[in-house]
Chains A and B, each alone.
Chain A
Amino acid sequence: MSELTMGKALNEGLRQAMRDDDHVLVMGEDIGRLGGVFRITDGLLDEFGKLRVVDTPLAESGIVGTAVGLAYRGYRPVVEIQFDGFVYPAFDQIVSQVAKLHYRSQGAVKMPITIRIPWAGGVGAAEHHSESPEAYFVHTAGLRVVAVSNPQDAYTMLRQAIACDDPVVFFEPKKLYHVKGEVQLGTALDDAAPMGLARVARPGTDVTLLTYGSQVATALDAATAAEDEGVSIEVVDLRSLSPVDYRTVTASVRKTGRVVVTHEAAREAGLGAELIASVTERCFNFLESAPVRVTGWDIPYPPAKLEKHHVPDLDRILDAVDRVLDKPNSMTGVEL
């Protein structure tokens, strides 16, 4: 085991994937000599050369579109979108081409493309640098969407995503790039939990707290705080946002009977809506109270000095926990 930051774990995951398969190549803006603006590709140019570590022109549709052509040719491109808010120029290529080519070709053309996206807020960044666009991609059939919450998952799931014959949109919380954790390097992928499986990050009995990405840490903090008040929260780290591992989710909800979902993305038609709809369909008779979402507000991402009021924090999560437990909370007496 090594103690690595998530950024370093991702770097090691990329390096291992490139050593394992010489058809893996990475491409994006500033990923070569600079090593990426977050240094996730640091050192790869020296080890693998410029044919496999490709500094591209600054055109996101061009990056993803040429990755499609490379995949047509049998390559496994790993694309870095520099920031979450920069992915939209590539949206057509992702939705109409990357996601659909296997289906459109009756399975003849595989699109094993990994689209890495430094993601979400909490880092005091400029506008367009803190967005949570995951619902757009979750809504798109043909894509797999994952979000990592710790260095071990970052290392393992990135290798799994690259090895997967389907396209994977891979969300990396920027806020966690410098957070350290124990990482087992070099393990066989077959020995690791599949990236499609959710993980019970903390067992509990009273409330199920569903979340992913950087919100996992906040959720775990909330669970620790709640324990002091005698409330046992089970935190489920979804890991895979599409597909969602409903076996793990429903097992938890049927045990606790109460559900809170938290994510940083805006509320309307966000992943929380889908999760609660699906949980309600599957677990209606087990529910003791109406499920509750704790999300970013339905606003464009706010300025850095105000972002702490947007990203759900420990107190907002505990407020929602009070609500599903029918305890006094901020919504008491407020008509929805």
Chain B
Amino acid sequence: MPAHAGCPTKARPGKRVTMVHTLTPTADLKTDVDDVARLVSATGERVRDADLDPWAADVDLAQLQGLYRDMVLVRRMDAECMALQRQGQLGLWAPCNGQEAVQVGTARALRADDFAFPTYREPGVNYVRGAKPAEYMRAWRGEAHSSYNPYELGSAIQQIIIGAQTLHAVGYAMGIQRDGTDQVAAVYFGDGASSQGDVNEAMVFAASFDAPVVFICCNNQYAISEPVGIAATHPIAGRAPGFGIPSLRVDGNDVLACLAAMKWALARARQGHGPSFIEAVTYRMGPHTTSDDPTRYRTQDEVEAWRRRDPIARLEALLRTQGGFDDEFAAGVQQDADTLAADVRAACLGMTTAPAITILDNVYAEPHIGVDEQRRWFGAYLDGFADAEAAGEQAS
């Protein structure tokens, strides 16, 4: 089997993989971004794909409008957080501009009782999971390490260590198997992460145990400054079959294709067929983070070329051809987006920083004599300032 072929036949009886997008080998990944499965062209035409069509058959106009609204709101929230960082309200932000389709499309296919394992660049996933305004950026403001309670959102803490969460998703999926439910773990990671040992080990474990997990590789073309060509000389989707995991390479700026691919993968997992792999080919329109300067490593022409593949404009064009987009709809979505942005801003500015002594909280789940002792020391030290302040007030 050639390395690029997406046709795994598991060396186990009774396991057949029925659907995989065939990949064309190429050494120049910059030019093969169209070697993907898609349902909506860059200009907004509904195109056919034999693999994906069955999984998009029940998507009606209202759902398409909902996906559009989701993406506009995510982009607006993302822009607001960028602005908040520039205004000194956030320490850092990792923008997802341009990647709304893969985040919204895949996450919308999840059930509430599934569990997502996002990276720091997946606020769009958490938007779909129901994040409250403060839950997009509490961590980015530096108020806490997690912006939310993972169990309330059905979404693990946004992972910063590249690729580490893929193993967590597989382990979580192994837990699902032991509980005998049909839930699924969905894990997001980037093209850069595909080099990590953890990601490859995760695929070994997932295949070995038939874990109900979906690997979603958001190939946004860059790992900070390093183009995907440094990580991969062949499409990343082509690796999964080598592990025995069926794989799809989809247009990551086509929200309908992302939704359909995810429904395919989720159905496989729920039916006990184990893991699936989706490479969503997309583009990071903004910097890696607010600390990054992408003009040092890529051209404006390249960025503009990707702007013409924009996921939101593309869906707008499709909606127009289907009679699902008019001024009233657009205005309503924009108003919702502005409301979300205002709520995010208000939540950010309204945050209060926890008292100093709380940095010693939650190091351990059970009482710990070492931390307890340091809490007493630090508490006494802090109390000394309180005494001094009280004395100062009395003197004045």
Contact = CB atoms under 8 A, between A and B. Distances in A.
Do the two chains belong together in a single complex?
yes
Contact of B362 (A62, A70, A97, A103): A103
A108 interface: yes
A109 B164 CA distance: 16
Nearest to B207: A57
Interface stretch (B76-84, B171-179, B304-312): B171-179
A105 B205 CA distance: 26
Interface string B285-299: 000000000000000
A13 B144 CA distance: 38
A107 B175 contact: no
A299 interface: no
Contacts of A65: 164, 166-168, 170-171, 198, 201-202
B370 A242 contact: yes
Interface string A91-109: 0110011001111111111
A164 interface: yes
B169 interface: yes
Contact of B150 (A74, A89, A108): A108
B53 to A, nearest CB: 33
B168 A141 contact: no
Contact of B168 (A72, A104, A107): A72
B339 interface: no
B157 A109 contact: yes
A265 interface: no
Nearest to A62: B201
B33 interface: no
B4 to A, nearest CB: 24
B173 A108 contact: no
A97 B117 CA distance: 13
B180 to A, nearest CB: 10
Contact of B169 (A54, A69, A101, A247): A69
Contacts of A89: 197
B145 interface: yes
Contacts of A62: 167, 198, 201-202, 204-205
A104 to B, nearest CB: 4
Contacts of B146: 104-106, 108
A327 interface: no
A58 B172 CA distance: 19
B381 interface: no
B161 A73 contact: no
Contacts of B197: 59, 61, 89
A119 interface: no
Contacts of B173: 69
B178 A68 contact: no
Interface in B97-154: 115, 144-146, 149-151
A59 B205 contact: yes
A165 interface: yes
A300 B120 CA distance: 39
Contacts of A105: 145-146, 149-150, 157, 362
A108 B303 CA distance: 40
B356 interface: no
Contacts of B177: 51
B163 to A, nearest CB: 9
Interface of A: 25, 51-52, 54, 56-57, 59, 61-62, 64-75, 77, 89, 92-93, 96-97, 100-112, 141-142, 144, 164-166, 196, 242-247
Interface of B: 115, 144-146, 149-151, 156-157, 161, 164, 166-179, 185, 197-198, 201-202, 204-205, 208, 361-366, 368-371
